[in-house]
Structure 1
Amino acid sequence: MRSIRTATLLACSALALAACATPTSPNVEQARAAVAEARANPDVVSYARPELSAAEEALARSERALSEEGEVEEADSLAYVATRRAATATELAAARADIEAVQGAGEARERAIRQTLEQRLAELQTERTDRGLVVNMEGDVLFPVDQARLSPGGLREVDRLAAALRDFPEAHAIIEGHTDSTGSDSYNLDLSERRAEAVRTELIAAGIDPSRLAARGLGEDYPKAPNDTAAGRQENRRVDVIVQEGGA
């Protein structure tokens, strides 16, 4: 009898230790609640299904980072993205339901969507040019040095851009990667291509139709500032996103 009790205690202790070893995160719990709330909203299901799916995907990535990899910081960053995307889905669903309810909403809808696009992009570093609205995204914010994997801060920036593109489904975007002149021409071209494609991939994960997006790397050929100073090189390491109101 004593041996049975001892075995039971040991098993319970092992389970307790395993539970303690499993990372937890209030941010992931908050994201779960936000996504569940959006999923339960019938307007979201009807009017913002792609955005809801993007929120669910970000939450799944966050949960995997936490439970399988023990990466709390990455899980928290992805949880932030999931929470934001759930909120965006809810906001867009309400706006789209209102637009549908307006009689003769053709021109009014276009004006409302165009205004929303301008307002969304105004939160980013944007200028209007002959090519369209150009969003300048600083490369050192988007990526670690010499890498093409988006940083947590980069994920947030790209998600803000995705929110604007979701509000204006007629718009297309050309994503252009740029580097400074440090390194060889071939290395810089390859890095710029991979960074542009990384931004495109994340926009698709955020619910943007791939047919609306084009990505290309331009290497060091189009600097915004001289490359002979650190400040100039930093300005040249960037990703420009040209948002066009018609086709790309």
Structure 2
Amino acid sequence: MEKPNAKPGLLIIAALLAACSTVPMTTSLLDQTRRDYSAAQNNPAVVRHAALELKLAGDALELANVAAKRDDSIVQIDRLAYVAKQKVALAHEVAKQKSAEISVAGAAQERDRMRLAQRTNEADQAKSAADQARMDTRLAQSDTADAQRAAQDAQRSTADAQARAAMLESQMAALSAKQTERGLVITLGAVLFATDQASLNSTGQQTIQKLAEVLQQNPQRTVLIEGFTDNTGTTLHNQALSERRANAVRTALQERGVMANRVAVRGYGESFPVGDNETASNRQTNRRVEIVLSDETGHVNPR
């Protein structure tokens, strides 16, 4: 009996061994380096800031890959893989450092920008303050000038008022006016009217002329004309006579240019006597017309 031929089995084993020998050699360190390099390639910071270091790391990794394909020893492959791994780490470190430098530079630029903005703002505020100060100064100067003009106007007004008051006092003194609680009062006695008449005689006309001139020079003033009689005759007759005499004075003033709205009249008849009507002289005193000059506002205090 012939023995089985073992040659085909040996051929199969040899073929398997030959196929295995074509698979590239690798190590755990090489695999780790490949992963590190791939991560570096996918890192934008490394690509942007450490391009040269990344290329050198790739070149070193390629040497390790070639050694693995040649089936160099594990020691040789790991040595080359270690060098490549260190270069990958260096690329990461360079990228990190440059990123930090850029960040610091950016922060410095931002600080500079903020400082510039702050100084610009301070300059603007200083300019605004200076402009406001100049405006305030101009306003103060204008206010001072206005105040000075106002003071001068007030002084002139006061001087004018004093001059008018002095002139009025002189004119009223010429009319024998008396100062009372109601104001200056001019009394036209019975001698200025004909007996039991309301017509002014020539002396009375002269007095009214002077009073008209006073009123024309003092347009803010008015007069109240009050007529009175003694108790001779009936009350009704005396009331009418007092009114006619007051109206006669008003008419005389109007004829001399005094507006009607500046002259008011009242007739009191035999009321408010200044004497007791027991003597002729007292009765003559009671037969009178009183002219009350208003204050500067045109007001006359009531009786």
Letter in 1 for 2:178: E
Segments of 4+ moved more than 4 angstroms: none
Greater mean alpha carbon deviation, residues 127-136 or residues 164-173: 164-173
- Could you tell me how far 1:153 is from its partner in structure 2? 1.7
Shift of 1:147: 0.9
In 2, distance between residues paired with 1:149 and 1:232?
21
Q: Where does 1:1-248 land on structure 2 (aligned, <5 Å)?
A: 104=153, 105-141=156-192, 143-245=193-295, 246-248=297-299
- TM superposition shift of 1:125: 2.2
- After TM superposition, give the deviation of residue 242 of structure 1 in Å: 0.5
Q: CA deviation at 1:169?
A: 1.5
8 Å Cα contact 1:137/1:240 also seen in 2? yes
Paired letter, 2:258:
I
Larger radius of gyration: 2
TM-score, normalised with respect to structure 2:
0.46
Quote the Cα distance in structure 2 between the aligned partners of 1:117 and 1:209: 19
What does the per-residue CA deviation read over 1:95-154, in whole Å, with 9 as the maximum and x for residues that have no partner? Answer: xxxxxxxx833222222222211110101221111111011111222x111111221221
* C-alpha distance in 2 between matches for 1:112 and 1:203: 24
Kept in 2: contact 1:116–1:164 (CA 8 A):
no
Q: Structure 1: state its 5+ residue gaps.
A: 1-102
Q: Provide the TM-score with structure 1 as the length reference.
A: 0.56
**RMSD between superposed Cα atoms in Å:** 1.4
Letter in 2 for 1:154: G
Q: Percent identity?
A: 41
The CA distance in 2 between the partners of 1:228 and 1:171, in whole Å, is: 37
Number of equivalent positions: 145
Aligned-partner SS, 2:179:
strand
- Cα distance per residue 1:74-101 (max 9 Å; x no partner): xxxxxxxxxxxxxxxxxxxxxxxxxxxx
Counterparts of 1:116 and 1:208 in 2: how far apart (Å)? 19
Which structure would you say has the larger RCO, counting Cα contacts within 8 Å and 6 or more residues apart?
1
Distance 1:128 1:109 in 2: 22
